[in-house]
Structure 1
Amino acid sequence: MVRFSFLILFSLLFVNCKSAKVSKHLENSLNSNFFENQFTGLMVYNPRTKDTVFNHNAERYFTPASNTKIFTLFTALQYLPEKVPAFKYAVHQDTLIVRGTGDPSFLHHYFKDSTALEFMKNYKAIKLVTDNYANDKFGPGWAWEDYDMYYSPERSAFPLYGNVLSISSTGDLNTYPEILKPQATFTSMNKRRDFNENNFYYKLTRKDTIEVPFVLDTTLVKQLWSDLLPGKVEFIPYSTAKTDQVLYSIPSDSLYKRMMHVSDNFLAEQILILTSSTVSDTLDADPIRKSILENQLKDLKQKPKWRDGSGLSNYNLFTPLSFVQVLEKLYDEIPRERLFNFFPAGGVSGTLKNWYAGPNGPYVFAKTGTLSSASTLSGYLLTNSGDVLIFSFMNNNYNTSTNKVKEHMQAVLEYLRDNY
């Protein structure tokens, strides 16, 4: 009995010494000359032992950039079913009455899902209700000069083609959708679209593809629907019809994985809109964010300032501790294989393909975030000893290259992998 107690005591002392050594090394790293002229926070947590391994500014607020998508993922997993709700509908004789749900997969250039279109083809007339979208087309705090960039499409109730025009050149010019090809012009200018008009510009010098957001005005929307279902679609401002039936499209997990792996802002925004469709006919992401924070995430120690689904907004403010808390909830609720599949894997996939490659395979499964002078990474780290650590590493207000910041972050995480 005495020997058994001694072994337990020795084991605890060994663990405490190891943790103290790791903590001291990390503190020295973050107090080095490289980090002294920027704002850095790091929290590392062991979900098995429920111990905080390291805390450096973890209760302070940072601009999270695309780490915000972790909260969007958590929200979607609380609300959305296994398949994405494509639209709500009611049938009156040979007429289909449709309310959009915000499903971004409809004819999207990556998913190319046509479930909704094939269903609509079965009806002689389609009435598309247009009064159920409550949000602005852009999120609060988005940079206005990004209007023609692929990562800043407009938000909407019934997206088409990802709300972008895809332009590619393989010798001949190709566009998706093809109907907008006449509106694409070769140019030597840097802009890709007129500010408020659907005149698109390209200067492809190799086999390349660019994506340019639409202006979702009435003319364009009618043009696209007339091309898809000639003479069938009528737009109505409101309807008293009870659209209580739902058509489903692609598996929801495929949407989450794409959002997280390539950090797709459009998918993130539309996913939050989608979640609102499960509780109301009115599409409004704002009450959904408020409800999540007041209910499922009411125990967060620091309430975030959460303004959009993607992290494009500079108004967002989150702490490393809040990300660790949400990541722990996901870790506790979702089987590990499924959960890690949502996140880019170091050295293997998505935005981590060129970073965090381990000698024995990926050791980091995490979400990146990048804005001007903001580089963040939050997720899961596999140590050589077999532990899974949850971490959130946030850097703001640096005056060096983002790659230099990432190199120092990688060195810190490699040390954790090898020494914890």
Structure 2
Amino acid sequence: MHSIKHLIKLAPFLKILGIILGLTIFVGCKSSKLSKTITKSISTAFYDNQFTGIMIYDPETKDTVYKHQAEKYFTPASNTKIITLFSALTLLKDSIPAFYYHASNDTLQLRGIGDPSFLHPYFKDSTALQMAKGYKHVSILRNTFTDDKFGPGWAWEDYDTYFSPERSSFPMYGNVVSISNTNKLEVSPNYFKDSVFQKTDKINRLYNENIFFYDTTSTRAREIPIVLDSLTTQNLWSDLLPGKVSFSHQQFNSTPEIAYSIPSDSLYTRMMHLSDNFLAEQMLVLASSTITDTLNTTLLRNYILEHHLNDLKQKPRWVDGSGLSRYNLFSPLSFVQILNKLYTTIPRERLFHFFPAGGQSGTLKNSYAGQTEPYIYAKSGSVGNNYSLSGFLLTASGKTLIFSFMNNHYTTPTSEVKKHMQNIFEHLRDTY
């Protein structure tokens, strides 16, 4: 009799336990069915001649929803910009540090720290110029910038393409010449106007000289990287401030102050949405200024990996900020771990704003569109025969999943790779 009364008392709890066990079994079956569907999809002949890695993670339950070769290394291309964004968000403030300065009587000393927004074709920041106009003498101090102008493993034949500007300590004009021909030929900076000629060959600029070529019958605007030798830099500054500017290897006369330019989020958003290589590279230069007096992105990358990403299960080979280099190697699991750190520390609305939205913005404007609104917020990465996408997927049930889907060494059109990926994404959206 005692045992029956005991069971009666426990009945409500047993009912709840039954519901919980039933739910667990249901969720388990659901996940198992989902895994079988994805596995079946990537087991088709389409994937036979490429290398594929997938990691899908539920940050709410902390469960791995699906993984396939998630701990293998892949060429990430512009997915590398995710770790660049992480670095900038970790080390930089709400506004971008523009330069160090010290003013004394009629002389202003300036030293660059990598801010890419100064006179940039899009940002058009003029903080340094406006400050300098108020002084009789302006001394630009040579910086301890120890990086090469190009990153390791960058393709040399890209020297004249818009996506491969040189890296520098005090960028100007985005380190490119902007040429357009809407009503008349316009060149910015104007200093190079007499260095632009009718295009007769495929190249946009001589290999190591600031002689530019443009199809003057075209109305399409074009950006061509500048060769940033010391003489060119001096001439660009002198063109802005005639008779005022000198260059020096000396140090500041006393402790300098820091001037700030644009809101940091505006820089991060444009870098991620347009997959802008120049902005990504300069963001690492900027971030390095917060940990050392030497502008060195190798020191910065090592610092981030050792102090902020030392729990990654596969330490990546990380060599640049943009992903231009094929030397970069990351696993899908590493990207999911980095994205999860961002997801748990950055407010959701702000974080998602950095990433292109499927069917709506940036590099995903024409891909992965939702039925009524975006369901994917992610960074793509594309370089010959490689395409990856890593970010956040919103399911119809209200869940947020973190994913990384990496494809290397395929010979089929990238458009076909995207179609197969989209089938999996939509199945995840509708069934998880």
Interval of TM-score (by shorter of Structure 1 and Structure 2)? over 0.9
Q: What amino acid does structure 1 have at the position aligned with 2:242?
A: P
- Aligned AA (1:272): L
Q: Is the 8 A contact 2:77 2:324 kept in 1?
A: yes
Distance, in Å, in 2 between the alignment partners of 1:206 and 1:273 is: 35
C-alpha contact (below 8 Å) 1:88/1:243 kept by paired residues = no
Report the Cα distance in structure 2 between the residues aligned to 1:226 and 1:84, rounded to whole angstroms: 25
CA distance in structure 1 between the partners assigned to 2:321 and 2:189 by the alignment: 26
How far residue 355 of structure 1 moved from its aligned partner, in angstroms, is: 0.3
Structure 2 counterpart of 1:50, from 57, 62, 67: 62
Name the Cα RMSD after superposition: 1.0
- Judged with a 3 Å threshold, the aligned counterparts in structure 2 of structure 1 residues 204 and 361 are, in CA distance, closer, same or farther, namely farther
Contact 2:112 2:143 (8 Å CA) reproduced: no
Deviations 1:153-172 (A, max 9, x none): 00000000000001111131
Go from structure 1 to structure 2 and tell me whether the alpha carbon gap of 1:45 and 1:189 turns closer, same or farther (over 3 Å shift): same
Question: Where does residue 4 of structure 2 map in the other structure?
Answer: none
1:32 maps onto 2:44 in alignment: yes
1:89 aligns with 2:101: yes
Map Cα deviations across residues 306-343 of structure 1 (whole Å, 9 max, x no partner): 00000001110000000000000000000000000000
**Matching residue within 244, 248, 255 for 2:267:** 255
Q: Name whichever of 352-361 and 121-130 sits farther off.
A: 121-130
How far has the Cα of 1:92 moved from its partner? Answer: 2.1
2:272 aligned with 1:244? no
Q: Residue in 1 aligned with 2:412? A: 400
Rounded to whole Å, the distance in 2 between the matches of 1:199 and 1:178 is 14
Kindly indicate whether the alpha-carbon contact (under 8 Å) linking 1:99 and 1:132 is maintained by their aligned counterparts in 2: no
Counterpart for residue 73 of structure 1: 85
**For the Cα contact (< 8 Å) 1:87–1:99, is it kept in 2?**
yes
Name the counterpart of 1:177: 189
Name the larger-Rg structure.
2
SS at match of 2:206: coil
Deviation for aligned residue 1:231: 1.1
The residue number in structure 2 matching 1:116 is 128
Q: Give the alignment partner of residue 177 of structure 2, picking from 161, 165, 169.
A: 165
Consecutive unaligned residues in structure 2, runs of 5 or more: 1-11
Amino acid at match of 1:20: S
Which residue of the other structure, out of 216, 223, 237, is the alignment partner of 1:225?
237
How far off its partner does 1:244 sit? 2.8
2:375 equivalent in structure 1: 363
TM-score w.r.t. structure 2 length?
A: 0.96
Partner SS, residue 52 of structure 1: strand
SS at match of 1:69: helix
User: Is the CA contact (8 Å cut-off) linking 1:133 and 1:282 kept in structure 2?
Assistant: yes
CA-CA distance at 1:178 after TM superposition: 1.9
8 Å CA contact 1:169–1:208 kept in 2: the answer is: yes
Amino acid at match of 1:404: E
CA-CA distance at 1:205 after TM superposition: 4.2
Please say if 1:216 is aligned against 2:216. Answer: no
Once the 2 structures are TM-superposed, how far is the Cα of residue 145 of structure 1 from its aligned partner?
A: 0.3
Q: Percent identity between the aligned chains? A: 58
Pair 1:242–1:24, CA change in 2 (3 A): farther
CA deviation after TM superposition for structure 1 residue 239, in Å: 1.7
Count of matched residue pairs: 420
What is the rounded CA distance, in whole Å, between the counterparts of 1:116 and 1:366 in structure 2? 34
TM-score between both structures, scaled by the size of structure 1? 0.98
Task: Note the alpha carbon deviations across 1:326-364, whole angstroms, 9 max, x for none.
Answer: 000000000000000000000000000000110121000
Letter in 1 for 2:274: V
Q: CA deviation at 1:100?
A: 0.5
Instruction: Quote the offset at 1:233 in angstroms.
Output: 1.1
CA distance in 2, matches of 1:80, 1:242: 24
Greater displacement, 224-233 / 198-207: 198-207
Question: Alignment partner for residue 212 of structure 2, among 189, 200, 212?
Answer: 200
Q: Say which SS state the counterpart of residue 141 (structure 1) adopts.
A: coil
Q: Which amino acid aligns with 2:361?
A: S
Alpha-carbon offset, residue 204 of structure 1 = 5.1
User: 2:164 maps to what in 1?
Assistant: 152
Query: For 1:303, which of 312, 315, 324 is the aligned residue?
Result: 315
How far has the Cα of 1:179 moved from its partner? 2.1
1:20-59: CA deviation from partner (whole Å, max 9, x where unpaired): 1111111111111111100000000000000000010000
- 1:412 deviation in Å? 1.2
Q: Tell whether the 8 Å contact from 2:102 to 2:252 is kept in structure 1 after alignment.
A: no
Cα distance in 2, alignment partners of residues 82 and 30 from structure 1: 42
CA contact (8 A) 1:99 1:243 kept: no
Question: Aligned equivalents of 2:261 and 2:424: distance in 1?
Answer: 42
Secondary structure in 2 aligned to 1:208?
Answer: coil
- Deviation, 1:240, is 4.8
Aligned partner of 1:127 in structure 2 is 139
Tell me which residue corresponds to 1:388.
400
Q: Which runs of 5+ in 1 are unaligned?
A: none
Whole-angstrom CA distance in 2 between matches of 1:31 and 1:124: 70
Q: Distance in 2 between matches of 1:91 and 1:77?
A: 30
Check whether the contact 2:199–2:216 (CA below 8 A) recurs between aligned residues: no
Counterpart of 2:349? Answer: 337
**Letter in structure 2 aligned against 1:402:** T
